[in-house]
Amino acid sequence: MEQDAWIFDFDSHYYEAEDAFTRHQDRSLGSRGVRWADIDGRRRLVVGGVVNGYIANPTFDPVARPGALYAWYRGNPERQSIREAFGALEPIRPEYRDREARLRALDAQQVAGTLLFPTLGVGLEEALKADPEACAAVFHAFNLWLDEDWGYRYRDRMYAVPYIPLLDPADAVAELRAVLDRGAAVVNIRNAPVPVPGGYRSPFDAAYDAFWGLAEESGVAVATHAGNDGYDALVQMWEPGSSEQSVLRTPLRGVVTKGRAVTDFYGAALSHLLFERFPRLRMASVENGAGWIPDLLHRIDDAANRNPGYFKEHPRDVFGEHVWVTPFWEDDVDSLLGEIRTDRLLLGSDWPHAEGVAAPADFVAESLGNLNDRDLRRVARDNALDVLRLPTA
């Protein structure tokens, strides 16, 4: 490792191998699971019997350069469409799929450790929402692949984050227990209400208390990484027939849903008294930015004021104690510090995605340049180690 490697990147990604969902998949699922198909000369992913369009090219070869959309997110001074802003694609790099190559990349980037989240995986629970049994089986197979190819705690530097769907409460508990047995330090769930026949259910309903109880007892951190949160239904009200993709989205989606899912999720967690029931539970909002937090806290202040006695502790303080957050690199972190505790901010580069920074260290220069040395070390390293319960020395 480079002598001056010190950053802990709380949000980086791999690009899934083509057999990530199929290597260990229960063959009895048939068309209910995940399959590949060649359609009109293109390799496409078929999920639950339907061609899935969440990722435009799910083979990831070729793929966008890391940070390709930097200028587009920085105000788009060249007035480009997002397709133009992507620029030329490149062949997939070894470090996107091979953990030894990734370790070498971390050394070159001066990154001491990182969490690894899915790219394709965060978009598939929505596609399987009508078949909870198949969804549980698909992600169980995926998590086996993840541990096999990347490892939940590899060389004490890379921590691959398994994905747990909540469609069925018992299956969620079983999968949480399975990945804990394999050493998972962090697990990921959706920022979303849970689809059930005829409607939805809060993930903080008593039906999920066994899941949250196990998470609390084990000490594992529960992350909520952005993905297909199911809020496309709001867009469909205004634009029937539009489709949800990871980046290539209708402009209206950003207007009506930006920050909506994560705000609703943590607002519901506070209002449904999740942290009062599980006072040692720790959660982390990842790749949702931080601009939504002041508005949420204002609303929860208002709720507490209008409902005296409902909350045992002020929900603003509860949020500050239990929830860590990765701001976007383009967020104005300085303006957020009055609302967000410095010891609850995390550096998340989103590397190697196009919408992230070109290199994890760029996050420091873009977003954290005005912090004093102590707070900079907290945000760029020590807070992540705190979440993972690793030594900070």
Q: Kindly state the average pLDDT of the residues 201-224.
A: 98
Q: Kindly state the average pLDDT of the residues 19-39.
A: 97
Residues whose CB falls within 8 Å of the CB of residue 173, separated by 6 or more in sequence, listed in order: 210, 211, 214
Q: Kindly state the average pLDDT of the residues 225-254.
A: 79
Q: 3-class DSSP state for residue 223?
A: strand
Q: Kindly state the average pLDDT of the residues 21-29.
A: 97
Instruction: Classify the C-alpha dihedral 355-359-360-361 as positive or negative.
Output: negative
Residue 238 has pLDDT above 90, yes or no: no
- When mean pLDDT is compared across 35-49, 69-83, 156-170, 237-251, the lowest value belongs to 237-251
Q: What is the mean pLDDT of the chain?
A: 94
Band the pLDDT of 256: cuts 50, 70, 90.
Answer: confident
pLDDT at 2: 47
Residues whose CB falls within 8 Å of the CB of residue 2, separated by 6 or more in sequence, listed in order: 107, 108, 110
- Residue 204 has φ and ψ, to the nearest 5°, of -105, 10
Q: Kindly state the average pLDDT of the residues 69-79.
A: 88
Residue 142 has pLDDT above 80, yes or no: yes
Residue 3 has pLDDT above 60, yes or no: no
Residue 1 has pLDDT above 50, yes or no: no
pLDDT in tens, 156-194: 999 999 999 999 999 999 999 999 999 999 999 999 999
| Distance from C-alpha of 346 to C-alpha of 190, rounded to nearest angstrom | 19
> On the CB side of 149, how many CA atoms lie within 13 Å of its CA?
27
Higher pLDDT, 23 or 82: 23
Residue in the block written with tokens 């290539």: 248
Q: Kindly state the average pLDDT of the residues 271-278.
A: 98
pLDDT at 49: 96
pLDDT at 103: 97
**Domain covering 7-30+93-388 in this structure, CATH number:** 3.20.20.140
Q: 3-class DSSP state for residue 368?
A: coil
Could you tell me the residue ranges of all domains in the chain? 7-30+93-388
pLDDT at 249: 66
Q: 3-class DSSP state for residue 206?
A: helix
Q: 3-class DSSP state for residue 105?
A: helix
Nearest to 301 by CA among 347, 346, 339: 339
Nearest to 163 by CA among 137, 194, 142: 142
| Distance from C-alpha of 206 to C-alpha of 383, rounded to nearest angstrom | 30
Say what the pTM is.
0.95
Neighbouring CB atoms inside 10 A of 72's CB total 19
pLDDT at 44: 96
| Distance from C-alpha of 142 to C-alpha of 280, rounded to nearest angstrom | 29
Band the pLDDT of 292: cuts 50, 70, 90.
Answer: very high
Residue 23 has pLDDT above 50, yes or no: yes
- Cα 288 to Cα 103, 227, 350, 353: the distances in Å are 26, 9, 11, 14
pLDDT at 353: 97
pLDDT at 366: 87
